[in-house]
Structure 1
Amino acid sequence: MTETAQAVHREADRDCPACGVRLTDGGRHVTWCAACDWNVDPEEQDEQAPGRIERLRRRLARRYGEQLFTELSGATASPGAVASPGAVASPGAVASPGAVASPGAVASPAGDGRGNEGSGAAGSPAAAVTSPRRLGAAGGLAAALAVMVHAVTVALLTGGLWLLVAEWGRGLLPALGGLMIGLAVVLRPRFQRLSRLAGDRPVLRRTDAPGLFALLDEIAGHVGTSGVRAVLVGPEVNASVTVYGTRQHRVLSLGLGLWHVMTPQERIALLGHEFGHYAHGDTRHGLLVGTALDSLETWRYTLAAKRADSLMDHFVNLMTAPPRLLVDGVLAVLEHLTLRDTQRAEYLADSSAALVGGSAAAAGVMDRLLVGGGVDGELRREIVAARTRIGGARRREEPAAGLWERLAAFGATIPPHEYERRRRVAERRGHQVDSTHPPTHLRRRRLAEGERTEALIELDPVRSARIEAELAAPARRVAEELVRG
């Protein structure tokens, strides 16, 4: 049985029991042998993902991730089709599909913001091709299937209205019509509201953080898309750009747990990656397919088998089994049709990260993601310590004061051998951020082993300090809410 990290720490002054090489004390991290990988992965892991659909997603993600890594690492950018560093998008503007930006050009509005596909060259992952992107057979089939999914909802609504109006007073038909309308309402495509996305998190607008929004606009412009309407500040070790409302406005969710363990250039690369999803035609970020996937997940939840405590429960489960299996089948097909495109978009979003932040910083983002679990654990420990006011110095200050600074200090002390261990674990396990992302170690390898790319945007100390000052108040509020529980 593999020894635990604690057991190894107690015997860190001895040689590796597997190959005899002298071990280096891991300190608060795992002690392992770099020569033979002894104890490189002591934690237990549940290899079986819950649910058929999730297992399918992970299996396909690994397969496509490996195929696309080989394909994109050997691809070359077409001459003259590389986005110009001088291209800047004005706030609210969206890059038009297929346009090649000239120096100083402003991206023109073009619908939903999906468009240009990039391709990382073997020598430079940051080389993003901006030639027109074809939908392809799989994309066309996915769009057609998404239309069919929405058509079912429309058919339920129109059929229910007809039964309710035309057959009023004729037996059970009006009741059936009301049921159909109710199902259509439950299964309708849903558009997120900013208030629901935000929850208790602080919401920043342009007037609240002009320096931050100027940076976001600059990054989005270089990537070839538009900026965001709002920024949500939370404690997560994560970041994402998503949309809300019927007009699909964008919002950045900025997780302070990740933000504070990154260098300024890594922050630029992280934001470049998130905006890259909207510059490289990620099918799942599109309105049609994205809402269809959401609707199918709602159908799965509605039709899920219930615990059978009575004969009626068994009957209901039996009656819902055929549509449940049909929904699972349609969802599996749509996953299969869109996942490769989504994997490609992830790699190309990494290219966007390298373009604006530099390839070294983009590879650093991958390392931060690999140690994300440890950062999250440290944040939880700091929250517990703040709540109990452990330590003499902390007893004389507000419990939440300095929370993010202490987390940043922890991130700065993570040693190189721990990052290396996490990379090897990722390669063994096929680590993914989630089931839609390619394996993290392949993403990092593509960024780290290609030709070094210099950053288009460099965050100088003055500008960085201004942004940190704008984030100080919401960061303090998030810390206080964490400590209060």
Structure 2
Amino acid sequence: MTDARDRAGIAAMLLAGVVHLISAAIAVGSVWLLIVGPLVPRILGVIGLMVTVLNRPRLGRYRQDTWSLSRAEAPHLYGLADRIAAELAVRPVDLIRVTPYYDTHYGRFGLRRRSVLTIGLALWEVLNPQERVALLAHDFGHDRNGDSRRGLWLHSASATLAHWHSMTRAGEIIPVGSYFLTIIAHVIARVLLFIPNKLTELSLFLLYRLTLRSGQRAEYLADDLAARVASSAATRSMLEALVLGQSVEILFQRQTALHQKGGFRPTLHQESDVDLWQELREHIRSIPATERLRQLRISALRMSAVDTTHPPTHLRIQMMNARRPREAAIVLDAQENAAITAELAPLRTQAAQAVLTAEY
């Protein structure tokens, strides 16, 4: 199996190399046409350069937005993240963002590949302190185990293919009342773009399949590292909380509908925001053990996962159950947890407003 995984990894790297080589060839060829070609080839060169600019590798933008927290604004949260990073021997995070969503994400952006940790407040609020340590440790674990999907070579190739696929997708609908020549041009464009579109679609699928096993292995390794940092019990219960996402979404939809039906009352705005997160925690605590078990079984039957790149959540829990139990290397005590909660207060209000107004 290791040999098969290695071969798939090499094939993925080669496919990404072909994508980068095509991009480079288009750029070099366009410049050559501009320099040595007559008028018509020069026009093609200009078009080629425009295509090159549009298809340039996307490295992601490193920028602070309304969901960002600086180290000065959240010293205890950054302190916890730094302790986890040090325990796993990875670089400290450059920026932490807190959004309303029920997930987390860790990635590197820009030419300097600076790291950004995005914490979904809906998920953070339903976890206990030690489960929060497991959540952060899992994300830092991806940096430790060298997840190839998140590396510059494969990630930029995948983004380029996705952009090619979008650019070569002809419109499906012809506007009513279009001229005959417009209709003919639309049909010709669809015919000419059909093969490039299908080739990029096939390439994207191949890249996904070639990296699927190694990507899922990276998730298991990140879970194992989370257990080492936060304890096996905390990691297992954190994974079990992931299957409750639908319950959280239903609660948010109900509260959004009630808020919109009742109208926007500025005098009660702050109080309503605080109530949302309190109600979320109470709602999760009110789910009986039998219902949690039922949702886990449904998740197993449906092979549910966080997304298509993750292994089914119930298999991740099974792996945690099969491993030797481990104690926590880092403990988030009540005092530090309270300090982090206070630091998140402004963004908790902002996130609740976004949920209640369906603007997230």
TM-score relative to the length of structure 1: 0.67
Please tell me whether the aligned partners of residues 358 and 455 of structure 1 are also in contact (alpha carbons under 8 angstroms). yes
Q: CA deviation at 1:416?
A: 0.9
1:449-464 equivalences in 2 (<5 Å): 449-464=322-337
Whole-angstrom CA distance in 2 between matches of 1:395 and 1:282: 46
Corresponding residue number in structure 1 for 2:220: 347
Q: Secondary structure at the match of 1:452?
A: coil
Corresponding residue number in structure 2 for 1:147: 17
Change (3 A) 1:418 1:177: same
Please tell me whether the aligned partners of residues 399 and 483 of structure 1 are also in contact (alpha carbons under 8 angstroms). no
Change (3 A) 1:329 1:395: closer
Q: Could you tell me which of 161, 164, 167 is aligned with 1:296?
A: 161
> Deviations for 1:93-140, whole angstroms, at most 9, x for unmatched residues?
xxxxxxxxxxxxxxxxxxxxxxxxxxxxxxxxxxxxxxxxxx933222
Q: Could you tell me which of 337, 346, 350 is aligned with 1:477?
A: 350
Structure 2 residue 146 is matched with structure 1 residue 281: yes
Q: CA deviation at 1:387?
A: 4.5
Q: CA deviation at 1:389?
A: 5.2
Corresponding residue number in structure 2 for 1:184: 52
Q: Secondary structure at the match of 2:162?
A: helix
Q: Secondary structure at the match of 1:194?
A: coil
Q: Secondary structure at the match of 1:412?
A: helix
Q: Secondary structure at the match of 1:233?
A: strand
Aligned partner of 1:305: which letter? Answer: A
Whole-angstrom CA distance in 1 between matches of 2:87 and 2:268: 47
Please tell me whether the aligned partners of residues 59 and 152 of structure 2 are also in contact (alpha carbons under 8 angstroms). no
Q: Secondary structure at the match of 1:228?
A: coil
Whole-angstrom CA distance in 2 between matches of 1:273 and 1:388: 39
Q: Could you tell me which of 319, 325, 337 is aligned with 2:198?
A: 325
Aligned partner of 1:407: which letter? Answer: L
1:151-300 equivalences in 2 (<5 Å): 151-167=21-37, 170-195=38-63, 201-300=66-165
Q: CA deviation at 1:396?
A: 9.5
Q: CA deviation at 1:388?
A: 4.6
The unaligned stretches of length 5 or more in structure 2 are 175-182
Q: Secondary structure at the match of 2:126?
A: coil
Structure 2 residue 239 is matched with structure 1 residue 371: no
Q: CA deviation at 1:470?
A: 0.9
Change (3 A) 1:333 1:395: closer
Corresponding residue number in structure 2 for 1:21: none
Q: Secondary structure at the match of 2:273?
A: coil
Structure 2 residue 259 is matched with structure 1 residue 412: no
1:353-432 equivalences in 2 (<5 Å): 353-388=226-261, 398-432=271-305
Q: CA deviation at 1:245?
A: 1.1
Structure 2 residue 298 is matched with structure 1 residue 433: no
Q: CA deviation at 1:223?
A: 2.3
Whole-angstrom CA distance in 1 between matches of 2:195 and 2:158: 19
What count of residue pairs does the alignment treat as equivalent? 345
Whole-angstrom CA distance in 1 between matches of 2:157 and 2:210: 13
Please tell me whether the aligned partners of residues 386 and 399 of structure 1 are also in contact (alpha carbons under 8 angstroms). no
Whole-angstrom CA distance in 2 between matches of 1:414 and 1:250: 36
Please tell me whether the aligned partners of residues 98 and 121 of structure 2 are also in contact (alpha carbons under 8 angstroms). yes
Q: Determine what percentage of the aligned residue pairs are the same residue.
A: 34
The unaligned stretches of length 5 or more in structure 1 are 1-66, 72-134
Please tell me whether the aligned partners of residues 389 and 399 of structure 1 are also in contact (alpha carbons under 8 angstroms). no
Aligned partner of 1:182: which letter? Answer: M
Aligned partner of 2:9: which letter? Answer: G
Q: CA deviation at 1:202?
A: 2.2
Q: CA deviation at 1:397?
A: 6.5
Higher helix share: 2
Please tell me whether the aligned partners of residues 265 and 361 of structure 1 are also in contact (alpha carbons under 8 angstroms). yes
Please tell me whether the aligned partners of residues 255 and 356 of structure 2 are also in contact (alpha carbons under 8 angstroms). no
Corresponding residue number in structure 2 for 1:51: none
Q: CA deviation at 1:219?
A: 1.0
Q: CA deviation at 1:141?
A: 2.5
1:48-197 equivalences in 2 (<5 Å): 136-167=6-37, 170-195=38-63
Whole-angstrom CA distance in 2 between matches of 1:236 and 1:341: 26
Q: CA deviation at 1:313?
A: 1.7
Q: Which moved more, 1:405-414 or 1:394-403?
A: 394-403
Aligned partner of 1:470: which letter? Answer: E
TM-score relative to the length of structure 2: 0.90
> Deviations for 1:288-313, whole angstroms, at most 9, x for unmatched residues?
01110111111111112321632222
Please tell me whether the aligned partners of residues 433 and 440 of structure 1 are also in contact (alpha carbons under 8 angstroms). yes
Whole-angstrom CA distance in 2 between matches of 1:383 and 1:222: 40
Q: Could you tell me which of 336, 340, 343 is aligned with 1:467?
A: 340
Q: CA deviation at 1:435?
A: 0.7
Q: CA deviation at 1:153?
A: 1.1
Aligned partner of 1:180: which letter? Answer: G
Aligned partner of 1:220: which letter? Answer: A
Q: Secondary structure at the match of 1:260?
A: helix
**What is the CA RMSD across the aligned residues, in angstroms?**
2.1
Change (3 A) 1:384 1:227: farther
1:7-18 equivalences in 2 (<5 Å): none
Q: Secondary structure at the match of 2:117?
A: strand
Corresponding residue number in structure 2 for 1:44: none
